Amino acid sequence: MSYQITIEKTKNPKQKPDEHNLGFGIHFTDHMFTMDYTEGKGWHDPKIIPYSPLSLDPSCMVFHYGQAIFEGLKAYKSVNGDILLFRPRKNMERVNISNERLCIPPIDVDFAVEAIKTIVRVDQDWIPKSEGTSLYIRPFIISTDPYLGVRPSNTYKFLIILSPVGAYYKEGINPVKIYVENKYVRTVKGGIGYAKTPGNYAASLKAQMEAKEKGYTQVLWLDGIERKYVEEVGTMNVFFKINGEVITPSLEGTILAGITRDSTIELLKSMGVKVTERRISIEEIYEAHEKGTLEEAFGTGTAAVISPIGELNWNGKIIQINDGKIGEISSKVYDTITGIQSGKIEDPFGWIVK
C-alpha cells in the first residue's frame, strides 16, 4: 500500500463551537481520514479530505449485516501547547483484534497511528483547551460490498473522524446508581463481546433504556450463561475493592479489553495495591457488602476515565457503596490518569505519545 497520505484542505472551514458547552460527540472537525481496502490490492489511497457525508450504495453490506468495528481515544492539548495522545498504539492493536473476529483484513498498526497523528495535526486548532476537555478520535471500518448475500465483504473503508468534547464531570465526579441486569445479556462466550463492533452496542440499548426508566444510570452486565459473574458496567470495565484488594473480572472472551482498565491495573500495581483479575460473582459482592468489606466499586473507560458506583440494585436488593461517596482509590486513579493525559503529571509509564 502507499504510505503517502494525501491532504486536501477544506475551502470552507466551519465555525468552532463554544468550548464551554461541547457535550459529547456532537461537533465534528473540518477534515476526516479515509482509506479503502480492495481484495487483491490491500489497503490503499489513504487521504485526508474535508469532512463530508459518504456516498454509499444502499446495498452496502455494513447496513445489513453490521460487519464493522470502531475505536475511541482522545487527544489533549497540554498547558505548554503540546498535543498529547494516550496509548494510541493500544487502540490500533485492538482494531486488529476486532478485525480478526469480524473477518475484516488487518490494518498496519504503525501506519494507523501515523494516520491519527496526521489528522489530529491537520485539525489541531479544534483541540479544546479548557480543563477536562479533549478531542475525541473515532476510527472505524465499514464493509462496503454492494451485495446482500451473507459472507465477509471484499471491500472496506477505514475512516477517522474527530469531535471536540467537553469535560465529562463538570461538577466533580458523582457516584452513579447501577441496575444489575438479570434479564438481558450483552454477549456470551464464543460471541463478539471482546470485539469493539456495533452489534454489541445495539444489543445493549434495550437494557440501558429500561434501567434509565427505573432511575438507574447504567446496567451491570452479568455473564450470559448463569447470570452469576460480573462482566462490565455499561460500556466500561468494572473494578471492586474488597478488604484492601482490587478485583476486576478476567478477560475470557466476553469483555472488551479496555485500555483504561489496563492502565488502571498497571497504575495500582505501581502504587503497591494488590490487583487480581479473576471471575467475581454478584453474590460475592453482596456478601462483601454484608461483611462490611466492600470498600469501593468503579467503572473505567476512555470517556469518563473513572465512574464510581454509589448504589447497586440486584433483584430489588439495594446496597450503598462507600456511603454513595467517591472512594480513595477511585479518586487517586482518576487524578493520576487524567493528570498524565493532560500533561500535568509526568508520565512514568511511557503512555503519552506527542
Binding mask 292-311 for ligand PMP (x = CB under 6 A): --------xxx---------
For 319, counting Cβ atoms within 10 Å of its Cβ (0-12 exposed, 13-18 middle, 19+ buried), the class is middle
Please state, as a whole number, how many other Cβ atoms lie within 10 Å of the Cβ of residue 93. Answer: 16
Binding mask 69-108 for ligand PMP (x = CB under 6 A): ---x------------------------------------
> Residues with Cβ < 8 Å from 81, sequence gap 6 or more?
none
Residue number, 50 or 198, with CB nearest to ligand PMP: 198
Least Å distance between CB 91 and ligand PMP?
7
Among 133, 134, 143, 235, binds ligand PMP (CB under 6 A): 235
261 binding ligand PMP? (CB under 6 A): yes
264 binding ligand PMP? (CB under 6 A): no
Place of cell 476486576: 248
Q: If we measure between CA atoms, which residue out of 153, 140, 152, 151 comes closest to residue 57?
A: 153
Question: C-alpha distances in angstroms, 333 versus 1, 55, 73, 263?
Answer: 41, 43, 18, 9
Residue number, 31 or 186, with CB nearest to ligand PMP: 186
Sign of CA dihedral 84, 156, 197, 152: negative
139 binding ligand PMP? (CB under 6 A): no
Among 30, 123, 231, 232, binds ligand PMP (CB under 6 A): 232
- Which three-class secondary structure string do you get for 162-201? EEEECCCCCCCCCCEEEEEECCCCCCCCCCCCCCCCHHHH
237 binding ligand PMP? (CB under 6 A): yes
Least Å distance between CB 15 and ligand PMP?
30
259 binding ligand PMP? (CB under 6 A): yes
Sign of CA dihedral 30, 73, 128, 305: positive
241 binding ligand PMP? (CB under 6 A): no
Least Å distance between CB 348 and ligand PMP?
20
Name the phi and psi angles at 13, rounded to 5: -60, 145
Which residues in the 185-224 window bind ligand PMP by CB under 6 A?
A: none
Least Å distance between CB 262 and ligand PMP?
8
Q: If we measure between CA atoms, which residue out of 248, 128, 229 comes closest to residue 180?
A: 229
Stretch near ligand PMP under the rule CB under 6 A, chosen from 46-54, 229-237, 270-278, 315-323: 229-237
Length of the chain: 354
Please state, as a whole number, how many other Cβ atoms lie within 10 Å of the Cβ of residue 45. Answer: 15
Least Å distance between CB 85 and ligand PMP?
13
Residue number, 153 or 300, with CB nearest to ligand PMP: 300
46 binding ligand PMP? (CB under 6 A): no
Least Å distance between CB 300 and ligand PMP?
6
Q: Collapse the DSSP code of 53 into the 3-class scheme (helix H, G, I; strand E, B; otherwise coil) and give the result.
A: coil
The footprint of ligand PMP (CB under 6 A) covers 72, 232, 235-237, 256, 258-261, 300-302
